[in-house]
Amino acid sequence: MRQKLSAMNYIRNNKRRVAVLIVSLALFLILVYLTRFILSSSTESFRLILVEDTKKVQHVRLPDSAFGIDAEALGEAAGAAYAEAEDRLMEELGKQEGVEEVYRVQCMGVTIYAMVGQYHFEFPLGDEKMLTTYMEHMGATLAEGRMPQAPGELILAEGVMKNAGLKLGQKLADEAYQIVGIADSDSYFGSGIKVPERDYSEMLCILTDGSVTDMTKLLRDMGYEFAESDAWIFDHKKGCEEYEQVWSEVETPTTLVFRGVTVVMAVMLLLVYTTTLRDRHAEWCLYCSIGYGRKDIYLSILREMLFCFGIAVGTGTLFTAIGMVVIDKTLISPMGLACNYLDFSVIGVIVCGYAVVFTLLQIPIRYAMYKICTVDVMEDELH
């Protein structure tokens, strides 16, 4: 009984050629995945701010018109009328399903700088009671320093401190604010005690249980009418919209890298493989002469390819994992950024890339199969 052609014989006797194929395939996985991993420091960091945090806290400042206040007609009394109307709104909001607490706060902004892009987000400043409740609600705890007690004192998450290059005790904004505590938080937490004389930045901070996603709709259902352009509302819906913009900006360079690497790898492998197949023509003709069919030879080639693809995936995965750890420890974490180690979307992209290359390599293989003939036919062609 004729034995099945062994793929390992060729692999053992042609280690250099096989190594070139394996390295090429492994580099594709490494380059594509590490590119997306580095860019994930932008998407993951901004996702925490725009998607995750907005499930728990939302900020609102309505225009005078939402309360039926004519500022020009009331003159100096308009401010008191607005505060009274806002107090009623706070009381009504506190009774809504999904709303846990409502505070009148000041907001201070911090810019997070990522590998691609930056985002300026705002965190609330209130009194000590608000600060304690807010920290508990956001899952933040004091890690270093002390809790803010006096107006202008701040506590910021370690990630914010690293990203902005801040230090404990440092003063900000014309020395009106000072960092007195560092928080341990999974997100870019920030809060503190508000400064009374800076009440121009006041708005409502609404702590929710995650079920409130569209604050504009909720307010309108409560009977408050206003043009969205006149109000300042930052809720989960708005956060998700801005995150989609961030994702689209990051997705473009990733797609370009994937396509570029795929094209280069495909061209290189086609050239290398075509040369290899040409050199093996005599070998396959000999197999054909001793009784092996084209199907047997083709299946042997497929086993060789699957072996190379398998080793390449394993090697590429190992070096990618090592590369992610090194990049995270030396570049991403020191910048106070988050990252995503397991990205199923890019895994799908890589699988598609391998499928494209595998399919393209069938072209020279099929042509080589067509050219196979027995040794006696080869001799007749020579003469």
When the pLDDT of each residue in the chain is averaged and rounded to a whole number, the result is 85
The whole-number pLDDT of residue 3 equals 63
> Can you say whether the dihedral through the CA atoms of 193, 161, 204, 69 is positive or negative?
positive
pLDDT band at 200 (very low <50, low <70, confident <90, very high): low
pLDDT band at 381 (very low <50, low <70, confident <90, very high): very low
How far is the C-alpha of 211 from the C-alpha of 98, rounded, in Å? 6
Predicted confidence (pLDDT) per residue in 202-227, tens digit: 899 999 999 999 999 999 999 999 88
- The two beta strands, 99-113 and 202-208, are antiparallel
- The two beta strands, 190-193 and 118-126, are parallel
Q: State the Rg of the chain over Cα.
A: 32
3-state secondary structure of 5: coil
Please check whether residue 337 is in contact with residue 115, taking contact to mean a CB–CB distance below 8 angstroms: yes
The whole-number pLDDT of residue 379 equals 47
Q: How far is CA 248 from the centre of its chain?
A: 11
How far is the C-alpha of 353 from the C-alpha of 28, rounded, in Å? 9
The size of the chain, in residues, is 383
pLDDT band at 133 (very low <50, low <70, confident <90, very high): very high
Nearest partner of 140 among 48, 50, 19, 233, judged by Cα: 48
Residue 324 parent element (H or E): helix 294-327
3-state secondary structure of 233: strand
pLDDT band at 199 (very low <50, low <70, confident <90, very high): low
Helices (H) then strands (E): counts for the chain? 12, 10
DSSP string, 153-214: EEEEEHHHHHHHT--TT-EETTTTEEEEEEEE-SS--EEEE--GGGGGGEEEEEEE-S----
The whole-number pLDDT of residue 383 equals 42
How far is the C-alpha of 354 from the C-alpha of 311, rounded, in Å? 13
Cβ neighbour number for residue 340 with a 10 Å cutoff: 17
Burial label, 1 (beta-carbon count in 10 A; 0-12, 13-18, 19+): exposed
Cβ neighbour number for residue 33 with a 10 Å cutoff: 23
Nearest partner of 265 among 354, 349, 332, judged by Cα: 354
The whole-number pLDDT of residue 376 equals 53
Predicted confidence (pLDDT) per residue in 54-77, tens digit: 999 999 999 888 888 877 777 778
Assess whether pLDDT exceeds 50 at residue 378. no
Predicted confidence (pLDDT) per residue in 238-288, tens digit: 999 989 887 887 777 767 776 777 777 777 777 777 777 777 777 777 878
Backbone angles phi, psi at 210, to 5 degrees: 105, -10
Please check whether residue 98 is in contact with residue 58, taking contact to mean a CB–CB distance below 8 angstroms: no
Predicted confidence (pLDDT) per residue in 149-167, tens digit: 999 999 999 999 999 888 9
The whole-number pLDDT of residue 21 equals 82
Q: pTM here?
A: 0.79
